[in-house]
A and B are shown apart, each in its own frame.
Chain A
Amino acid sequence: MRIAIVEDDDQLLASLKVLLEGEPDIQVIATFNNGGDAIASIPTMDVNILLIDIGLPDISGIELTHQFKQKYPSIDIMIFSVYFDQETVFAALRAGATAYITKGCTPRELIEALHDLQRGGSPMSPKIARQVISAFHNEKIPSEQNLLTQREKNVLIEIEKGKSYKEVASKLSISPHTVNSHIKKIYEKLHSHNRQEALQKAQQKGII
């Protein structure tokens, strides 16, 4: 099993490398502490599994997953994160992650999850699996149309009208900072890098 790890915490990254290399059938090919380096280097490597943290300094782990999955669909991606909220979990799975393990699992659980993934499984921490199942039970699966929250949709609709952040903030009675963070979320969810692209994708998906 040939693994690359993307994790911004250098100490944890080092520990993970040592821990996983201690396993006979796991080979840690490369480690990266940011997304940019991973995008630049991984294509030249022969990697089966990518272990990705979500909170990276330059690019979100979800966006990184999306990019790799688009270009290299054969690579299995396992998210390794502290986040377990429904929005993040679904965004990661939608972006193409095949496994989701929360930080804080025991070393044994992590190693078993990697083996499971290698064997074609889709391992998830119990809490994540329950999130997914309960979302199905409660029919809270975010569809393409309701990928964005109502507030995010409202922000996007105002942006479409050509309004500035300040004008949007005033119209929706929120602060410009909040508008900014909504925009960031929208870009992340729609995997877009600018206003035009976000609007285009939202229209294609029938969100607005």
Chain B
Amino acid sequence: MICKGKLAGIVILLLLHSISGRAEELTLTDWQYRWLAQNESLESKDSGRSDWQPLPGSQMAPGRKGDDALLLRTRLPPGHWRDPVVFIPGVLLSLEVYLDGVLTYSFNDPIAVRATPWHMIPVLPSGGQLLLVRIDSNYSKIGLMGKILIGDRAGHLQSMIRRDFTRLGFGFFFLMLGGFTLLINTQNRDIAYYAFAVHVIAIAGYTLRYTHIKQLLPIEPGTWFYIWSMSLLLVMVTLLLFVREVFGSGRWQFINKLFYTNAVISLTGFIILVAGAIGLAAPQWLTNATLSLIRGMFVISLLFILVHVGFLAFRGNTNARLLMLGLPLAIIFATRDALWALDLIPGENTIGHWGALFFVVSLATILARRYAAINQQLRHYSIRMEENAREKALLLMDLHDGIGSIMTNILYLAEIAARKVAPGSRQPLETISGLAEEGMVEIRSFMTSLDEETEDWTTLIANMRRYASHTLLPHGMKVAFHSSTRTATHPPSGLLSLNIFRIYKEALNNIVKHTQATRVSIKITISPSHVYLKIEDDGPGLSDTNGWKHRGLTNMAARADRLGGHLEIRGEKGVTIECTLPIAREKPILQQGKQEDIPE
């Protein structure tokens, strides 16, 4: 086995040599053909059912009539070569070559044939030998895939590289383009990108598969069959997907319907392919039918795409115009290659890969324009959102400033007024002060929740402890406050912080209003995933008359529920409120637990 490095060296040397000069090659002409049954031996040629006939222009001989073996013969021209060989392009399926009636070369490898390899058969330098080629196949098409040539061995290799190098380069370019697009697209997850990437990889597979040069690459011959099959299965499905994403599905959703039809057929083809690969060969009729369906749908889909996109191009859609530039070129170039292969038009080489390049470039341009448009849109949205957020922040600041000043003013006016009335008449003024203070607490907790930068559990717990001392101590209640925060707990979001405080505030206010408790125990535990809050009092417990059941439970439970948490109130002996709320994972902080009684 030739090592890869040596092989690469040979390829480079041949490449350089091929660029520097042109080798002389001759296409063998004046072919005659006749058909044989598959198992019929060559010796029966004189008693055969048909006589030798001159072969018309192409190597696809007419008049097969159920036969599975094709014989082709011609006399080699007199030569002037140093190391002459007959170059036979791919054949379907097996091949035997006779020189002056002697079997000189035989090829019957069921795996290698899948890559339709070329063959080089040494001949005499003087020429003039009778060349007879036997091709056996049970395929619907039987024959040669190209033209049989004669020339020097090195000359063949040179001209093969010269012919195929551009195609090979394009193939690798498509492969890289598709691969990079797949990598880039992991960020934006646009289906059009995936469709483009896979489509271009499929075109790459096709382009590489149809180079003769691939035989010099260290890849198993059978692999090329799978590359070609996958390309065939994916190429139209991905094109339809791309068209659907970029240009919409058209009237009656026909692009979408075509996409699903092609997808189902391709999936069937894929299953047949996999089954074949693991030794469960599908019936030949099924394989043939699927292949025909794929090809038929290919043509139909192409027509519909041309109509759909052509109409949009006519209406002035720039992307559609771009596609209408690339796609028809690819079709024209591919048609030209097919006609050339059938010897219907003259020419030296295939040009289909140039058509593929124009097409891929048009698709890439469409994608780049789409990306630019999406980016522009996102920029607009982000600017608008930023503007809105800024305006809202300013409004909130203004509101905060205004209401804050009013509340403070009320508080101070109540105090000033209280100084001027008799001590016995100060109750309403004290209530006004209390309400103003409560209003300020409310505003502050709201503003704190908006400022998530400074939000942390320590501040929230400190505010809760302060609120407990402000609310419960004046009513003669003793408060035991216990808090613990586990290490690496994420800080609370503004919404969570606001809701915890509201639930807590409501619970404490209810204790003041509806119980005659003398002792209140508060416990808050912050774990990495949950906040657990437990408030217990030693009052008479829940009853229908003291108002707990209706107001407290509904409001607090609804809040907990909205945050995906749970709240429970029990009241057989005193009232116990237990609330668990989930914590969204953000930035971690480090805190330790502590317990203390709030001094009176």
Contact = CB atoms under 8 A, between A and B. Distances in A.
B416 A18 contact: yes
B390 interface: yes
Contacts of A131: 454, 459
Contacts of A106: 411, 415, 433, 437
B379 interface: yes
Interface stretch (B380-388, B514-522, B545-553): B380-388
Nearest to B415: A107
Interface in B361-392: 379, 382-383, 386-387, 390
B456 interface: yes
Interface in A37-60: 55
A131 B404 CA distance: 19
A85 B436 CA distance: 21
B382 A173 contact: yes
Contact of B404 (A82, A134, A138): A82
Interface residues of A, number: 31
Interface string B386-405: 11001000000100110011
B451 interface: yes
A85 B444 CA distance: 10
A205 interface: no
Contacts of B453: 85-86
B412 A107 contact: yes
A7 to B, nearest CB: 8
A104 B411 contact: yes
B412 A19 contact: yes
Contacts of A18: 416
A19 B405 contact: no
- What's the dominant secondary structure at chain B's contact region? helix
A178 interface: yes
Contacts of B415: 19, 106-107
A41 B433 CA distance: 34
B454 A175 contact: no
Contacts of A130: 458-459, 462
A16 interface: yes
Nearest to B391: A177
B407 interface: yes
A15 B387 contact: no
A86 B387 contact: no
A127 B444 contact: yes
A204 B383 CA distance: 32
Contact of B409 (A11, A55, A84, A138): A11
Contacts of A73: none
A140 to B, nearest CB: 9
B356 interface: no
Contacts of A175: 383, 386-387
Contacts of B383: 173-175
B437 A177 contact: no
B22 interface: no
A203 interface: no
B416 A134 contact: no
A81 to B, nearest CB: 8
B413 A15 contact: yes
Nearest to B448: A84
Contacts of A134: 454, 456, 458-459
Interface string A71-82: 000000000001
Given A106-B433, A178-B386, A84 B411 contact: no
A102 B443 CA distance: 12
Contacts of A36: none
Interface in A125-143: 126-127, 130-131, 134, 138
Interface string B436-453: 110011011001100101
- Count class of interface residues, chain B: 35 or more
Contacts of A178: 386-387, 390
B419 interface: yes
A104 B407 contact: yes
A126 B404 contact: no
A130 B457 CA distance: 12
A103 interface: yes
A9 B409 contact: yes
B581 to A, nearest CB: 22
Give the residue among A22, A175, A181 with the most B Cβ atoms within 10 A: A175
A9 B410 CA distance: 13
Contacts of B444: 84, 102, 104, 127
A179 to B, nearest CB: 11
A103 B416 contact: no
A12 B382 contact: no
Nearest to B412: A15
A176 to B, nearest CB: 9
B408 interface: yes
A189 to B, nearest CB: 16
A181 B390 contact: yes
A173 B416 contact: no
A177 B390 contact: yes
B466 interface: yes
Give the residue among B382, B408, B462 with the most A Cβ atoms within 10 A: B408
B459 A12 contact: no
Interface string A170-194: 0001110110010000000000000
Contacts of B466: 126
B413 A55 contact: no
A82 B411 contact: no
Contact of A177 (B387, B433, B447, B458): B387
A55 B459 CA distance: 25
Give the residue among B387, B405, B406, B459 with the most A Cβ atoms within 10 A: B405
B561 to A, nearest CB: 30
A99 B57 CA distance: 103
A85 B454 contact: yes
A22 B454 contact: no
Given A12-B409, A82-B401, A103-B405, A174 B386 contact: yes
B459 A22 contact: no
Interface in A10-26: 11-12, 15-16, 18-19, 22
Contacts of B387: 175, 177-178
Contact of A103 (B379, B404, B441): B404
Contacts of B404: 82, 103-104
The 10 A-B pairs with the shortest beta carbon distances in the complex, nearest first, are: A104-B440, A82-B404, A107-B415, A9-B405, A103-B408, A15-B412, A12-B409, A175-B383, A103-B404, A86-B454
11 contacts: A9-B405, A11-B409, A55-B397, A55-B401, A104-B411, A104-B436, A107-B412, A131-B454, A134-B456, A175-B386, A175-B387
Given A103-B408, A104-B408, 15 more contacts: A12-B405, A12-B406, A12-B409, A82-B400, A82-B401, A82-B405, A85-B453, A103-B440, A104-B440, A106-B411, A107-B411, A126-B466, A138-B456, A173-B382, A177-B387
Interface of B: 379, 382-383, 386-387, 390, 397, 400-401, 404-409, 411-413, 415-416, 419, 433, 436-437, 440-441, 443-444, 447-448, 451, 453-454, 456, 458-459, 462-463, 466, 589
Interface of A: 9, 11-12, 15-16, 18-19, 22, 55, 82-86, 102-104, 106-107, 126-127, 130-131, 134, 138, 173-175, 177-178, 181
